[in-house]
Every structure is written in C-alpha cells, then in structure tokens.
Amino acid sequence: MAVQSSHVRVSSELTTQSRRLKIMHSTPPRKRKTLSPNKELDRKRLKISSDLPDELIEEEILPRLPIKSVVRLKSVCKSWLSLFSGPQFVQHHNAYQNPSDHDCLVADRTDYIVTFSRYQQTFALRGRQFNHLIGSAKGLVCVCCQNIVWLWNPAIRQSKEFHLPPLGYNCLIRAGFGFDHVTNDYKVAICYRSIGVSHLYYAVYSSHSDLWIHGQFDDVDFKIHTRKFKRSRTPNTMVKDCPYWTCLTSVKSDKDKYKVILSLSALKFDATSNKFKLLPEFCADFSYQKIFTVVDMKDLLTLMAYDPCTTGRLEIYSLDEDKGCDGGWSMMYRIGPFKEFMRFEHLKQGFRYGDDFLFYEYGNIHSYDHKTDTSKCIPVTEPSFNVCFTYTPSLVFLQGMKSIYSENQISPPLCRESRVIN
C-alpha cells in the first residue's frame, strides 16, 4: 500500500513539471527594453560627464552656466554649494557672462523694490521696511530703513543685515554704497552731525571686517556738506560703483532774461580711499525752460538738459575725471528735435551698456535709443519710482547672508502692450 502511494506522488510531480514546461514553451520570450533616442543620448552624456575631470567641470563648464542654473545646482551637494559661494568662482563666472545680456536697473517704490531689464521685470521684493534705496554695486543692492541696513543680492535671493552706528534723532545727513575694486570690499558710507555740537562726522562700513570706522570732517567740508548738499541724502546716481550726490543751482542771466546760469556741483565717495571728494563744477547758460537730470552713462557722470518748448532737443554733457580739474566737462552729443509725443519731463537713469535712457510718459516707462530713434515700453509692476540705479546680476555671496522668504517676492507682471515708436 505504501509502495503504491509513493508511485502516485511521483507521477503527480512529473505531471506538474511537464505542465510547467509546456507553459514556458508556449509563453513568448520577453523583449529586451530599448531606450528612446533621448534617454539613450542622456545616458551617453552622463557617462561622458562622469569621465571628465573635476577641474574641467568646475573651471570651464560650470562658470559658463546662467545664474539661474547655478542657483538650482547649489542644492545638488555640499561641495558645489561651497564652490558656488566662493569669491573665486563668482569672479570666474562674471568673466564668462556677457555684460550686455545682464544689463538691468533697480528702482524703489514706497512698498517694494524692483529689478528690470530692457524687456521685462525680473524680480520684485515686497516689504515696507525697504524705504530707502541707497545704491547698487557689483551685484548687490543696498537698502536702508531707520537704523537697519541690508546688502541684498536679488539673483540668489539672499541678504545680509547690520545696523548703523548709534546716532541721535535726525542726525543722519547722507548715506551711500560703493565697492572697493582694490580689496574687493563692499562699503557703506554715512555722514552725520553730532548732537548739540557743530561738528560733522563720517563712518564707513566694511563687509570684510563687518565693522564701522569713524572720522571727522574739517570746517571747509562741514560747509560743503551742510549747505551746498544739504538736500541730498541718498545718491543721485552711481558711476563705476561709487555714489555721487549732486546739487543744481541756477540764477538769472544779466545779459538775457530768457536764460539762466546753471551750476552743477558733484560730491563723490571714493570707496578705495574712504574719502569724500568735490568734483569740478559745471557752469553754462541755458534756457530757463530746460529740464535737467544727472545720470550715469557709459561709466561717466552725465548731465542731460532737455528743452521741451523752444528747440525740443536733448543735450548730454559728461565729466571725464581722468582729465583732472581743468575742463573735465564736455558735450557728448545733442539729439533731437523730437516729435510732439516725446515727453521727457521725467528723465531717468539709463542702462549701463548702450546709448538708451529711460523716461516716464503716459503712465509707462519707456527706453529710448537715440541711434535708432526708437522707444520701447518696459513692463513693470508700477512704472512710477523714486530712485533708480544700474544693476548687474551676480552670484556674489557675503558671510552672514540669509535667504529671503518667498512670501516677500512678487511675480513679474503680465507684459503690457509694448510699442516701438519711430
């Protein structure tokens, strides 16, 4: 009986195995997976990139990437985060970027600060605390409110915060922001008066040392700062990463009742020497109907004089500081007359590279290029702004910088109707 049962089990196992063999032979063989052309190309690229030396990737490939790509790659690994934050990589990356492709402006309003190019608004930061835009130099923007100062990098969306020295109420006279090209140091300069004493002092903050150094002006500088430039708290413009304060005065001409004698005085803070310098004065006879604006054009301190009524022309003068004090001012060119719809009552800072400048017309900001005689509308969140400086995006990072939260950011607006005016 036991022998018979064992034969039954063996036969059943053989039957089961034969069925499995039949199923295996009847089932078609699985096809090998083939990669799509794009995935196959990505696999080959990944293999090639893994074979490249790290020096080639870090010194030749990564510095050529756009700023947005580098910011995203910071989260790949800690070594890349450290690499991208280093001053050597930032300097190397700036050398590979085309300056004209990153030619932007930064402007402030009551409730936020915006950066924009010739074509669109690139970034906006919301916040009532940013009441005063002090300047822009080498990728950083300086903003101040009461006794707090921020050095803000819109490209990487990080900022460093520090405080002004202890000052009395209404003692701050002016503040400026600059960059020392010799030591690669960002500096903030202020002028302030003492309480109850007729003395004028200055203080300079260094981003390298994170400290303020103080000094005192002599009697001559005291009169210049408190009388001639008493209304210039924030810089009127910045040239070669140095702030400039200007004072325009005019008196009626004795020879011609329809003309005035215009005098332009300029005060500069030199970030290399930590000194305030008075520049050569500009004097000329102009029609009393002209409108004047001081801007930075081609890295020169520039005076634009526009006559909207008589001639309709725009005269542009510049100061070449390399020529010294003997006749440094000269006329760059005269353009116009313009058509009737060209209204330059609100001339603004132009872009750093090129020959165009901004003006406010019918609720919009326009960029005018005198070489092509065309004007193009720039879409921004709000076209009305107070102060405007040139701005070039960069990856520069300072020790102590912290991220700015996304709730303070404003999305770029939908493009308004842009029109080219011939």
Domain boundaries, the chain: 99-421
Q: How confident is the model at residue 364 (pLDDT cuts 50, 70, 90)?
A: confident
Which residues in 83-241 belong to E strands, given as ranges?
A: 104-108, 112-116, 121-126, 132-137, 140-145, 148-153, 158-163, 172-180, 185-193, 200-206, 211-216, 237-239
pLDDT the model gives residue 102: 78
- Summarize the confidence of residues 146-171 as an average pLDDT: 87
Report which of 365, 353, 396, 390 is spatially closest to residue 135, judged by C-alpha positions. 390
DSSP count for the chain of H helices, then E strands: 7, 27
- Summarize the confidence of residues 335-363 as an average pLDDT: 70
CA distances from 281 to 123, 128, 249, 267, 330 (A): 37, 37, 11, 10, 12
Cis peptide before 337 (omega within 30 of 0): yes
pLDDT the model gives residue 282: 85
99-421 maps to which CATH number?
Answer: 2.120.10
Looking at per-residue pLDDT, the higher value among 284 and 206 belongs to 206
When the pLDDT of each residue in the chain is averaged and rounded to a whole number, the result is: 76
Instruction: Name which of 2-6, 251-255, 393-397 the model is least confident about.
Output: 2-6
- Summarize the confidence of residues 342-368 as an average pLDDT: 72
Contact 318, 300 (CB under 8 A): yes
pLDDT the model gives residue 162: 93
Share of the chain above pLDDT 90, in %: 16
- Summarize the confidence of residues 244-267 as an average pLDDT: 80
